[in-house]
Amino acid sequence: MTSSIARKVIHSFQSQVVPDTQDYSLTAREKEILYGLVEGLSYKKIAEKYFLSISTIRTHICNIYEKLHVNSKSQAVAKVLKNSGV
């Protein structure tokens, strides 16, 4: 690869903006549940806190994972913490 092509590739990657958590179009309830995960709460504790069933929590979490483009609780929490500047 020539240096001019390498520069173009690097420039292309640098111009891509990493979206912020506000840009993921999470609902208010999904944000509450996500921050419950950040606080270290279990699904059961989150369900108790928001008066929801564990099944509903799981559904919200699947939607959160899809919107954040992650596959696990730890990845979701890491993404939130990274984007919040903590």
- Summarize pLDDT for 31-59 with one digit per residue, the tens: 999 999 999 999 999 999 999 999 999 99
pLDDT tens for 57-68 read 999 999 999 999
Please state at what angle helix 28-38 crosses helix 73-84, rounded to 10 degrees.
100
Q: Does the reported pTM lie above 0.75?
A: no
Helices (H), 1-86: 3-15, 28-38, 43-49, 54-68, 73-84
For the chain, domains (ranges, CATH) are 24-79 (1.10.10.10)
DSSP summary character for residue 11: H
What letters, b where the CB count within 10 A reaches 16 and e where it falls short, cover 25-40?
ebeeebbebbebbbee
Q: What was the pLDDT predicted at 25?
A: 87
Cα(38)–Cα(77) distance, integer angstroms: 5
Cα(10)–Cα(44) distance, integer angstroms: 45
